[in-house]
A and B are shown apart, each in its own frame.
Chain A
Amino acid sequence: QVQLVQSGAEVKKPGTSMNVSCKASGYSFTRYYLHWVRQAPGQGLEWLGIINPFSGGTTYSQKFQGRVTMTKDTSTSTIFIQLSSLTSEDTAVYFCARDRAGIDAWPKYFFDYWGQGTLVTVSS
């Protein structure tokens, strides 16, 4: 069955960077787009961007442009997100999520499978 398993919780100091991973299994990793979405405590959901696991191509939300980097490692079926220059407003649960569409089509931009979430706390 499709599974997205994320790395564990992180505590970061303001101004540093976070790195979260998401390992896919149960399907062909390079066949489906993957996204990153975050949720601040008690808040709604916010989209950060999308990665094509085949080509490595990315599209980022303009809000995070210049501060976010999404990468992939095909050998381990894993994607990564790095967010730099952290502030307390970046404290959130970060989710990876699979796009409904395969990469032979344009992304659908909604999500049929999600990781379990990774809490990143930014605190001095």
Chain B
Amino acid sequence: DIQMTQSPSSLSASVGDKVTITCQASQDVSNHLTWYQQKPGKAPKLLIYDASNLETGVPFRFSGSGSGTAFTFTISSLQPEDVGTFFCQQYDHLPLTFGGGTRVDFK
């Protein structure tokens, strides 16, 4: 199985800060990577697919980049509603696998 290593596991930031999360795959997954946001007690929400494509309706402050084994997710200016846990997921190989998550909250 492909291991997805996400870092950091948690971070605290202020409103307006730039936030960066990384996801490392244990083998090449091309650009077959998504990012989801999950709020407490809720299902995940799709933000980014194919590593860098913004899902319809998702604010432009969210972006993704990378290919192969190294990926980055960025929030250009953190907003109060962005609190939650962010997960990456690879879909190049079965079984589908997810990163361990990055919990984002406010200082």
The interface of chain A, by Cβ under 8 A from chain B, is 44-47, 59, 61-63, 95, 97, 100, 108-112, 114-117
CB pairs A–B below 8 angstroms (20 shown):
A44-B87, A44-B98, A44-B100, A45-B44, A45-B87, A47-B96, A47-B97, A63-B95, A97-B43, A108-B49, A109-B94, A109-B96, A110-B34, A110-B46, A110-B91, A111-B46, A112-B46, A114-B45, A115-B43, A116-B42
B98 lies within 8 A of A109 (CB)? no
A117 lies within 8 A of B46 (CB)? no
Instruction: Tell me whether chain B's interface is mostly helix, strand or loop, or mixed.
Output: loop
Task: Give the one of A44, A61, A62 with max B CB within 10 A.
Answer: A44
- Known pairs A45-B44, A61-B94, A116-B42; list 17 more (Cβ under 8 Å): A45-B89, A47-B95, A47-B97, A47-B98, A62-B95, A95-B43, A95-B44, A100-B49, A108-B91, A109-B94, A109-B96, A110-B46, A110-B49, A110-B91, A111-B46, A114-B43, A115-B43
> Chain B: how many interface residues by the 8 Å CB criterion?
21
Closest B residue, CB atoms, query A49: B95
Closest A residue, CB atoms, query B48: A110
Closest B residue, CB atoms, query A109: B91
Closest B residue, CB atoms, query A61: B95
The interface of chain B, by Cβ under 8 A from chain A, is 32, 34, 36, 42-46, 49, 55, 87, 89, 91, 94-101
CA–CA, A111 and B48, complex, Å: 11
Which one of A46, A63, A100 lies within 8 Å of B98 (CB-CB)?
A: A46
B43 lies within 8 A of A117 (CB)? yes
Residues of A within 8 A of B91 (CB): 108-110
Task: Give the one of B34, B87, B95 with max A CB within 10 A.
Answer: B95
Residues of B within 8 A of A97 (CB): 43
Closest A residue, CB atoms, query B44: A114
Task: Give the one of A45, A63, A112 with max B CB within 10 A.
Answer: A45
B49 lies within 8 A of A116 (CB)? no
Closest B residue, CB atoms, query A62: B95
Residues of B within 8 A of A63 (CB): 95
CA–CA, A12 and B40, complex, Å: 24
Closest A residue, CB atoms, query B100: A44
